[in-house]
């Protein structure tokens, strides 16, 4: 039992859950829209959305119905056969992106694993078996599986897990000259997040991504965007590359694609789309009917609601409010960073982002820390202007509570 200024918070401990997460002392039992509820019935305004996952909020009735209907029809059949939900979802993603082929898996890390394998197989099939280098950026986060981890640039995540697969290199993010020096005839692909999320919400410059496109074209490398966190409408366009106006050869999706059900996707255009042939790659659950049905329903809802304008409007509001917080507490925060509803508020040295996260719970606010010391704001995309203002009041109360000890 935890006593807070807003009453008691029950926390049931589960000693057999592996201790690989630093979980907050809260048991969430229910969600609705942008709100979460704990075991004691306390409400929390959710600025995390399951880490940029629940774009349409919690318990969206149409998503819930799509899941229930599909579960009552066909839950799993494997990729030994065709089935409607994955096929229709692939067609829909192709239609919305203008890309040609989609591989489905179950997570962001798996989507990036598939991207890495596709880049190497593409070079191999083109008679360039030595073109094997996977180039990624400093500060990158691409997932925790061994290949995705090798592409990730965070020593803390790698410690004790080496040796990781070889052939991975890193280049300075947003440094065109460094990229020019790094991409060569050995580069299979440049894998990059248009907005780095986990390292503290750091957007790529348009100039950097445009240079990446030009250099990859000139030197025969694939350009692959990791849109696992910044895709699916979070920047104010369905796909992050559409926001930047730079078209990669392939991009990965996961997180909010199915609004909370596990699914990942690698979306590819042009000749590389044919690089993976029967037997080259696969996964039992990839694109299985229930997550695929949820993702399809998500995209159908987006067909009739203009989320882009909404994300831009509430994103501007949230960014403005965060800037006001930074101006009011210049010793504690730097100016906010990010695009749309993927925003970060950097916390200055001497203060710990994690303290604000913890105290936020006492104020009915759920926020999250990313990177070295940044508060990350990735609410459901359906968040209203009033909810943004409410969240900022709770943030100010949280700050007051941290500052007074
Ligand atoms: C940009 C990016 N890529 C990959 C991943 C890994 O996704 P998952 O946790 O679904 O494996 C994440 C997760 O945070 C991410 O933000």
pLDDT given for residue 6 in this prediction:
60
C-alpha 32 chain-centroid distance: 21
Nearest CA residue ID for atom 4, ligand 1: 142
The helix/strand/coil state of 188 is strand
- Judged against a pLDDT cut of 70, whether residue 3 lies above it is answered with no
> Which of 105, 109, 169, 94 shows the shortest CA–CA distance to 135?
169
Coil, strand or helix at 114: helix
| Tally of residues, the chain | 405
CA distances in angstroms from 263 to 93, 288, 299, listed in the order given: 13, 8, 14
Q: pLDDT tens-digit profile of 285-305?
A: 999 999 999 999 999 999 999
Instruction: Count Cβ neighbours within 10 Å for each residue of 178-213 and write b for 16 or more, e otherwise.
Output: bbbebbeebbbbbbbbbbbbbbbbbbbeeebbebbb
Total of domains in the chain: 2
| pLDDT at residue 2, as a whole number | 66
Provide the 8-state DSSP code for 371.
Answer: T
Residues 6+ apart with CB under 8 A from 13: none
Identify the domain boundary among 244, 277, 304. Answer: 304
Which of 109, 232, 374 gets mutated to test ligand 1 (max ligand atoms within 8 A of its CB)?
109
Q: What is the pLDDT of residue 85?
A: 98
* Nearest atom, ligand 1, residue 227 CA: 1
Q: What is the mean pLDDT of the chain?
A: 96
| Best probe residue, ligand 1, of 108, 153, 370 (max atoms within 8 Å of C-beta) | 108
Question: How much distance in Å is there from the Cα of 252 to the middle of ligand 1?
Answer: 10
Q: Give domain status of residue 123, yes or no.
A: yes
CA of 48 from ligand 1 middle (Å) equals 14
What are the pocket residues of ligand 1 if the criterion is a CB atom closer than 6 Å to any ligand atom?
Answer: 107-109, 112, 141-143, 193, 197-198, 226, 228-229, 254
**What share of the chain in percent tops pLDDT 90?**
95
Looking at residue 115, which CATH number applies to its domain?
3.40.640.10
Q: Which one of 304, 338, 353 terminates a domain?
A: 304
pLDDT the model gives residue 10: 67
- Does the residue 65 lie in any domain? no
Most informative mutation of 146, 198, 240 for ligand 1 (most atoms within 8 A of CB):
198
Give the position, in ligand 1's atom list, of the atom nearest the Cα of 143: 6
Residue 69: Cβ within 10 Å count: 12
pLDDT tens per residue across span 214-262: 999 999 999 999 999 999 999 999 999 999 999 999 999 999 999 999 9
Q: How far apart are CA 190 and CA 135, in angstroms?
A: 5
Instruction: With respect to residue 332, please indicate whether it lies within any of the assigned structural domains.
Output: yes
Report pLDDT for 270: 98
Residue 1 pLDDT level (bands cut at 50, 70, 90): low
| Residue-level pLDDT at 137 | 98
- Mean pLDDT over 19-48 rounds to 95
Q: Are residues 277 and 350 in the same domain?
A: no
Same domain, 99 and 178: yes
Say if residue 155's pLDDT is above 60. Answer: yes
Residues 139 and 165 in one domain: yes
Model confidence over 358-371: pLDDT tens digits? 999 999 999 999 99
Beta strands, E only, 175-221: 187-192, 195-196, 202-203
pLDDT at residue 11, rounded to an integer: 73
**Which residue CA neighbors atom 3 of ligand 1 most closely?**
142
Cβ–Cβ under 8 Å, residues 87 and 237 = no
pLDDT digits (tens, 9 = 90+) for 102-113: 999 999 999 999
**Ligand 1 centroid to residue 258 C-alpha, Å:** 14
Residue 88: other Cβ atoms inside 10 A = 15
CA of 144 to the centre of ligand 1 (A): 8
Say what the pLDDT of residue 4 is: 61
C-alpha span between 391 and 363 (Å, rounded): 10
Torsion angle of C-alpha atoms 167, 114, 52, 152, degrees rounded to 10: -10
Q: Looking at ligand 1, which residue's alpha carbon is closest to its atom 7?
A: 108
Residue 90 and residue 175 share a domain? yes
The pLDDT score that the predictor gives to residue 14 is 86
φ/ψ (deg, to 5) at 50: 65, 35
Same domain, 230 and 334: no
How many CB atoms are located within 10 Å of the residue 74 CB?
A: 14
Give a yes or no: residue 17 inside a domain: yes
Whether 313 and 258 share a structural domain: no
| Residue 113: inside a domain | yes
Residue whose Cα lies nearest atom 16 of ligand 1: it is 229
Q: Show contacts of 367-370: CB within 8 Å, 24+ apart.
A: 367/47, 367/48, 367/395, 368/47, 368/48, 368/51, 370/197, 370/198, 370/199, 370/200, 370/201, 370/344
Q: Is 66 a domain residue? A: no
pLDDT digits (tens, 9 = 90+) for 266-282: 999 999 999 999 999 99
Q: Is the pLDDT of residue 5 over 60?
A: no
Of 304, 325, 344, the last residue of a domain is: 304
**In which domain, by residue range, is 161 found?**
74-304
Q: Are residues 192 and 282 in the same domain?
A: yes
Backbone φ and ψ for 35, nearest 5 degrees, come out as -120, 145
């Amino acid at each position: 039992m935890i006593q807070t200024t807003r009453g008691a918070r029950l926390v049931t401990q589960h000693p057999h859950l592996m201790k690989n997460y630093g979980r907050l002392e809260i048991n969430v039992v229910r969600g609705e829209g942008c709100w979460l509820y704990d075991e004691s019935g306390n409400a929390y305004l959710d600025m995390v959305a399951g880490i940029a996952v629940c774009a349409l909020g919690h318990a969206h009735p149409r998503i819930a119905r799509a899941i229930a209907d599909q579960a009552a029809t066909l839950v799993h059949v494997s990729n030994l056969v065709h089935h409607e939900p994955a096929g229709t979802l692939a067609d829909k993603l192709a239609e919305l992106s203008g890309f040609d082929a989609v591989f489905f898996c179950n997570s962001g890390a798996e989507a990036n694993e598939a991207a890495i394998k596709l880049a190497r197989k593409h070079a191999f099939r083109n008679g360039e078996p030595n073109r094997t280098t996977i180039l990624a950026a400093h500060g990158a986060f691409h997932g925790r599986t061994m290949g995705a981890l090798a592409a990730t640039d965070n020593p803390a995540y790698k410690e004790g897990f080496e040796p990781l697969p070889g052939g991975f290199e890193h280049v300075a993010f947003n440094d065109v000259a460094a990229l020019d020096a790094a991409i060569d005839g050995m580069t299979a692909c440049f894998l990059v997040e248009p907005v780095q999320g986990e390292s503290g919400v750091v957007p790529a410059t348009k100039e950097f991504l445009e240079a990446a496109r030009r250099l990859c074209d000139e030197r025969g490398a694939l350009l692959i965007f990791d849109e696992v966190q910044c895709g699916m409408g979070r920047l104010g366009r369905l796909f992050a590359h559409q926001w930047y106006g730079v078209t990669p050869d392939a991009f990965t999706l996961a997180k909010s694609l199915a609004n909370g059900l596990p699914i990942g996707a690698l979306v590819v255009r042009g000749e590389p789309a044919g690089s993976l042939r029967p037997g080259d790659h696969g996964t039992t659950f990839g694109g299985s009917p229930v997550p695929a049905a949820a993702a399809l329903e998500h995209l159908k809802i987006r067909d009739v609601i203009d989320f882009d304008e909404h994300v831009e409007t509430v994103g501007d509001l949230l960014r403005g409010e965060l800037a006001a917080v930074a101006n009011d507490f210049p010793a504690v925060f730097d100016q906010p960073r990010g695009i749309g509803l993927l925003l970060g508020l950097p916390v200055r040295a001497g203060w710990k982002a994690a303290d604000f996260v913890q105290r936020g719970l006492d104020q009915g606010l759920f926020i999250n820390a990313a990177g070295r010391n940044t508060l990350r704001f990735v609410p459901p995309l359906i968040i209203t202007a009033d909810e943004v203002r409410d969240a900022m009041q709770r943030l100010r109360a949280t700050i007051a509570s941290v500052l007074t000890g």
